[in-house]
Amino acid sequence: MGGVTISQVATAAYEIPTETPEADGTLAWDTTNLVVATVTAADLTGMGFSYASPAGANLIDGRLAAALTGRDPMNIPALHEAMSRAVRNDGRPGIAATAISAVDIALWDLKARRLDLPLATLLGQAHREVPIYGSGGFTTYDDQQTVDQLEHWTGELAIPRVKIKVGESWGSDPTRDLARVRLARRVIGDNADLFVDANGAYTAKQAIRFAHQMVEGYRVTWFEEPVSSDDHAGLRHVRDMVDCDVTAGEYGYQPSYFATLIAEETVDCVQIDVTRVGGITAWLAVAHLAAAHNLQVSGHCAPNLHAHVAGSVANLRHVEYFWDHERIENRYFDGALTPRGGSLIPSDTPGHGLTFKATDAEERRVA
């Protein structure tokens, strides 16, 4: 396979409306952005994507393409390092990290295709089936929307774990938060796990009070970002005072962020987003760091990408089957996976098995 080099790195960006207006405890939105990257070497092309600002496409077309063109596509560690160095003066965390993520995923897809292997096989599987949890339950939903979504997950898809958003309006309406938790428990019954996500809306003491009510009354077992993920002291304080697991990490844009998060004993489970942290290469580095500290990891969003990389680590807990992303992936990608009994099973086709339907998405293209 020697002699083949990267001939092209290309990208496109899209803005896709949500079905209805959505919000969590600290942000509201009505569109989801998608950046798709392709890497071509000889007669094969790999594809990756990130749910990120269209500004990332400019970095891919410029600095990242220049850093990769003409190089061996099989040497992903060297290519990942080259991308990180190329964006040094642009700021590695944030938009640059999402751009690197999309290209890194494309490189792994290309490598697996060149070897004619499923990506899950190339990475090696610790888990054939990847457990998922249904995630959405936005604070903008009325009771009927919440019920319909929960019944879809636990009934139609037989997913035994679900998560709703709490922390309404920066924690200013805890009465409604608790009412929505009560509703969720009633709908899903006694046999499904109930998770909540505050997206950093509460103060530490407010989160502790709310956690005690949720655990004692409704058996909530997962409390995501009870305070800001940048407030490590607050996270640790909440973790020390409550019975449910405290989690964070989705806004980690490079492995060094997680080194601090873990060293300061802030969480019970580490969330990693393959479309933010730097792609598959960086995701694996963080998962191994967590394992060295006896912590499990959870894949944040982008379920069809996480199905491959998350299944390759023994310390996996689950992957987030996020409402916005599974909707986009099922609509705009051939090969999107269907949950089976609360799990995703990676396909046996070469690469990650996804093919982007650019023609279908063209009307949503913004760059």
Q: What mean pLDDT, rounded, does the chain reach? A: 97
Evaluate whether 331 touches 298 at the Cβ level (below 8 Å).
no
Q: Is residue 97 part of a domain?
A: yes
**CATH number where 54 lies:** 3.30.390.10
230 plus 86 within the same structural domain: no
Q: Where does 293-355 have alpha helices with state H?
A: 303-309, 323-332
Q: Is residue 145 part of a domain?
A: yes
- Complete DSSP assignment for 173-214: -HHHHHHHHHHHHHHH-SSSEEEEE-TT-S-HHHHHHHHHHH
**CATH number where 347 lies:** 3.20.20.120
d(CA 300, CA 297) in angstroms, rounded, equals 9
- For residue 42, the tally of other CB atoms under 10 A from its CB is 14
47 plus 26 within the same structural domain: yes
Q: Is residue 199 part of a domain?
A: yes
Contacts of 32 (CB under 8 A, 6+ apart): 15, 16, 18, 51, 324, 325, 328
Place of tokens 């390092």: 81
Give the pLDDT mean for 155-172: 96
112 plus 128 within the same structural domain: no
Look up the pTM and report it.
0.96
- Give the total number of structural domains in the chain: 2
- Give residue 62's domain range: 6-117+358-364
Q: Is residue 107 part of a domain?
A: yes
Q: Is residue 1 part of a domain?
A: no
Q: In this predicted model, what pLDDT tens digit does every residue of 41-94 receive, in sequence order?
A: 999 999 999 999 999 999 999 999 999 999 999 999 999 999 999 999 998 899
Q: Is residue 327 part of a domain?
A: yes
63 plus 136 within the same structural domain: no
Q: Which of 96, 91, 58 is nearest to 80 (CA)?
A: 96
d(CA 188, CA 273) in angstroms, rounded, equals 27
Q: What pLDDT, on the 0 to 100 scale, is given for residue 2? A: 60
